[in-house]
Amino acid sequence: MALLEVHDLYKEFTDGKTKFAAVDHVSFSLEKGECLGIVGESGCGKSTTASLIMHLRHADGGQIIFDGKELNNKTVKGVRKDLQMIFQNPVDSFDPRYTLLNGVKQGLRYFENPGKEELDRRAKEAIRYAGLKDSYYNRKIYQLSGGECQRAAIARAIISDPKLIICDEATSALDVSVQAQVIELLKRLRREKQISYLFITHDLLLARNICDRIIVMYKGAIVEAGTVKEIMEDPKHPYTKLLLACVLKPRVDKNFQFVNCDSIREPAPEGCRFYEYCPCAKEECSKKHVKLMKKEGREVACLL
Ligand SMILES: Nc1ncnc2c1ncn2[C@@H]1O[C@H](COP(=O)(O)OP(=O)(O)OP(=O)(O)O)[C@@H](O)[C@H]1O
Ligand code: SF4
Ligand SMILES: [Mg+2]
């Protein structure tokens, strides 16, 4: 049984007078112990997907099953201690009045009341595990550096011994060396505490470093899903190829002939969502709705 199943998730927003689907019939599953990446450019719907799974926002359609239970506004409360989240800007996710110790306690206090001493013990244990010094307990959150603050957010997430942590651009605001330290901490947690991750990032190389499988989103929908090896070494969707070409340009230029995207077309409302920019587009792509299809063991939303 998968730890997380997302079926046909749908969310509309309004842009001026027009409605658009920020999350457009998204389906995927995440196995126990797995680190599943969601990558895609800014605005493609990654954070909205995460907030719908966490029930921080109301979905307009779809079903979410976590650890065998269907989630709704009521049932989600019962599983929140097993389903934690880490955000891009950790400072904003804490109450500024809290000290580190009290901030970390909130990760458990909302869902369980283990008693004052036990709560204190577990918060201190989580803080130590996350690599912060005991002498920091009474510091205010805003008195921590960016990297320390992200460690505090990790401590708050692991205090409840969760099964899954959703990391939404959890290391994007950190400089490269601090980012590497936090990634190592997340990997250690996975090894030692068997925590699974839904790892959201715009950085394909970072996803390669930590994930087992990767989902690529474009304009609210999944355009490709596969193992890290499949996505990084043999991408099938033109958008994935383009994303990869952007990060591995010198190497990939030799293999892919279409890193130039200078022939932008009119969007095709009825057709493929990538038609406008796709270097491989054919006329039929503008007329047919293109869904994620399974073929020869791969999942790709492309007619070719
Ligand atoms: N509350 C809202 N009202 C209207 N539109 C919204 C709202 N929240 C998000 N959007 C829009 O929905 C789309 C998806 O946003 P989302 O935050 O999920 O993107 P993202 O992939 O997380 O991007 P980023 O990488 O920049 O964090 C964007 O076009 C965004 O402007
Ligand atoms: S369906 Fe056509 S336009 Fe869409 S990604 Fe495939 S080739 Fe490009
Ligand atoms: Mg986001």
Q: Going residue by residue through the chain (304 aa), what tens digit of pLDDT does each one get?
A: 899 999 999 999 998 889 999 999 999 999 999 999 999 999 999 999 999 999 999 999 999 999 999 999 999 999 999 999 999 888 899 998 899 999 999 999 988 889 999 999 999 999 999 999 999 999 999 999 999 999 999 999 999 999 999 999 999 988 899 999 999 999 999 999 999 999 999 999 999 999 999 999 999 999 999 999 999 999 999 999 999 988 876 554 555 444 444 567 888 888 999 999 999 999 999 998 999 999 888 999 999 8
If you write DSSP's letter for every residue of 94-162 in order, what string do you get? S-TT-BHHHHHHHHHHTT----HHHHHHHHHHHHHHTT--GGGTTSBGGGS-HHHHHHHHHHHHHTT--
Query: Cα–Cα distance between 197 and 157 in angstroms, integer?
Result: 12
d(C-alpha 20, C-alpha 179), whole Å: 34
- CA neighbours within 13 Å on the CB side: how many for 137? 11
Read off the amino acid at residue 252.
V
CB of 43 shorter than 6 A to ligand 1: yes
Supply the pLDDT for residue 122.
97
Per-residue model confidence (pLDDT) at position 51: 97
Query: What's the CA-to-centroid distance between 304 and ligand 2, angstroms?
Result: 7
For residue 86 and ligand 2, the question of a CB distance below 6 A is answered with no
DSSP 8-state class, residue 284: G
- Tell me which residue of 206, 203, 84, 90 sits closest to 146, measured CA to CA: 90
User: At 142, which amino acid appears?
Assistant: Y
Give pLDDT, residue 113.
87
285 touches ligand 2 (CB under 6 Å): yes
Residue from 39, 46, 198 whose mutation best tests the ligand 1 pocket (most atoms within 8 A of CB): 46
Binding site membership of 272 for ligand 2 (Cβ less than 6 Å):
yes
The HSE-up count of residue 96 (CA atoms within 13 Å, CB side) is 3
Dig out the tokens for 27 from the structure: 């389906």
How many angstroms separate the alpha carbon of residue 283 from the centre of ligand 2?
9
Two structure tokens written together for 166: 């959703």
- Beta carbons within 8 Å of 67's beta carbon, 6+ residues apart: 3, 4, 79, 82, 163
- List the residue whose alpha carbon is closest to atom 6 of ligand 2: 302
Position 246 scores a pLDDT of: 86
> What is the CA(1)–ligand 1 centre distance, in A?
31
Q: Is the CB of 202 under 6 A from ligand 1?
A: yes
This prediction has a pTM of 0.93
Ligand 2 within 6 A of CB of 252: no
In this predicted structure, what is the pLDDT of residue 259?
43
pLDDT digits (tens, 9 = 90+) for 50-93: 999 999 999 999 999 999 999 999 999 999 999 999 998 888 99
Q: In Å, what is the CA distance from 60 to each residue of 8, 49, 50, 83, 269? A: 10, 12, 14, 21, 21
Mean pLDDT score of the chain, rounded to an integer? 92
Quote the CA–CA distance of 119 and 301 in Å, as a whole number: 47
